Amino acid sequence: MHDRHVLSLIRRLAGAGLGFLALSLSTTALANDDRPFPLISLLMPGLQATAAQASPATDELAVQELKGAPQLKRSIDLTTQSDNLWDRIRDGFAMTNLNDDLVLYYQQYYQSRPDALRRMVERSRPYLHHIVEEIEARGMPTELALLPMVESAFNPMAYSKAHAAGLWQFIPATGKRFNLQQNWWQDQRRDIIASTSAALDYLQTIYDMHGDWHLALASYNWGEGAVKRAVEKNEARGLPTDYPSLNMPNETRHYVPKLQALKNIFGNPELVARLDLPRIPNRPYLAMLETPRPMDVKTAARLANLSLEEFQRLNPSHNRPLIKPETPVVIPADKLDTFYANLHATQTPLSEWRAYTVPASDRLDRIASQFGISASELARVNSLPERARLGAGTTLLVPGGGNRDNLGPLLNAMAPTQIIEPEPKPCPKKAKKSACAGESSPRLASAAPTEKAGSSDKGHASSSGKQANSKASAKDNSRETGGKSNKLAASSTPAKASAPGKQASSKTASAPTKNSSAKAAPATPAKVAKSSQGKRG
């Protein structure tokens, strides 16, 4: 027990000695330290840092610059758009991409013809912004703005063998279905504003039917009835019903790949720059107004400070040189004030045409000479044959100062009364005069507008790809009924006349077979009957 106390005492003395030695050494080190509160630094480093901040050294002051917080905008405008229309179109792409050999083929086809692409883009310049605005207002994919490139190469006067007209290539029947007027005065299938609205209505209708944009596009080209039956046929066989899996005509098979190829090109800014395709500003180009009085097309162009060609490119639907009152007229938006200023300042008549009613039966060329105009020009203005003989009561548009009063017979009708009489036949010398007096009854001239075939871009797809033969055209004409073409009219080979004195054979001559050595008489050319169904007819 005593030994334990002795050992404990020795340990305490040794610890005290070691502690004194350590304190002596540290005191010497701290004496040479310039930092404030060195002892605190040794014992409590954290407290030393706080003390140093509170009591800085007197010989120099530490300066710390406080930067202000960045000022944020009170609101961020997420609707700001690029001033390049191609950027806006790219941002609205929403269709599923199609990738196959046909897409690659047509992309290479277009890229190898940059001049044709550039011409097509230049033609689209007046119309494209309006089309994009209408598409976005309906919440539709902006790929549809490229569809007129496939349909018409953006030629508003394009006219196909299937009688489809305008940027969106409507046939007469489908145009009427979507309220596009087609009369003596105008054909709204060529109207930029009206046809765009009708085309988007149609596309939305067939998309709602199929729930797939590729099938909707196939329906636009082939007919919704035909696509529906193709889908049902695949369903019955347990096959896929998407666009690539359907059995369809070649034109429709190539239709969507063309649009996809254009989407791939215009969706790639670097490729657009490499092909040197024109930039289109993202701002309105078109403005629409109504003419308060009858006005010539030439006069309207002059009031807007446009050439006749420029005005007609914006207003391609007019069939006559005269515009009826309250008819929408399209001009560039930056020409609107100019148009109204010139209209209010003009003192000359707005029309050089007036209505004329034929008092008695007369030839068109003789009537033309009375008004100092060529027969061909008068026939063109009135959509009549140049050598026509007109009956009494026929109404014509002829040169002369026109106003609402003397144009009344025309302005109040959708089409004028135009009676074409047959030419009187010469009476044989031996025949009685009474036998030659009777003539066949006159006929009314058709009031349907005369279509003009638009020149297609040969370096690019022609007007909606109408390169098919007559049998393919007949299929395209019956869209609504599933593409079933009307059968060709049967033609019989005429029987050879019997020699004099010989009894004619009662059998009808038949067409020779391949093994027959007899030379067949030429068959009557078969005519394809028009169909009133489908998009083109």
- Determine which one of 133, 134, 143, 151 is catalytic: 151
Angle at 414 between CA 412 and CA 419, to 5 degrees: 100
SS3 state at 12: helix
Q: Among candidates 258, 131, 288, which has minimal Cα distance to 198?
A: 131
Q: What is the 3-state secondary structure (H, E, C) of 278-307?
A: CCCECCCCEEEEECCCCEEHHHHHHHCCCC
Residues in the chain: 537
- Greatest C-alpha distance within the chain: 179
What is the C-alpha separation between 291 and 346, in angstroms, rounded? Answer: 14
What distances in angstroms separate CA 61 from CA 49, 66, 408, one per listed residue?
16, 16, 98
Does residue 151 have an active-site annotation?
yes
SS3 state at 330: strand
The DSSP code sequence of 21-90 is HHHHHHHHHHHT--SSSHHHHHH-HHHHHHHHHHS--SS-------PPPPPPPS---TT---SBHHHHHH
What is the C-alpha separation between 247 and 241, in angstroms, rounded? Answer: 10
SS3 state at 415: coil
- Strands laid side by side in the 362-363 sheet: 362-363, 389-390, 419-421, 443-444
What is the C-alpha separation between 434 and 430, in angstroms, rounded? Answer: 12
| CB contact set of 318 (below 8 Å; sequence gap of 6+) | 185, 186, 297, 312
The structure tokens 């040479």 sit at 32
| CB contact set of 105 (below 8 Å; sequence gap of 6+) | 257, 261
Sign of CA dihedral 320, 326, 329, 335: positive
The set of catalytic residues is 151
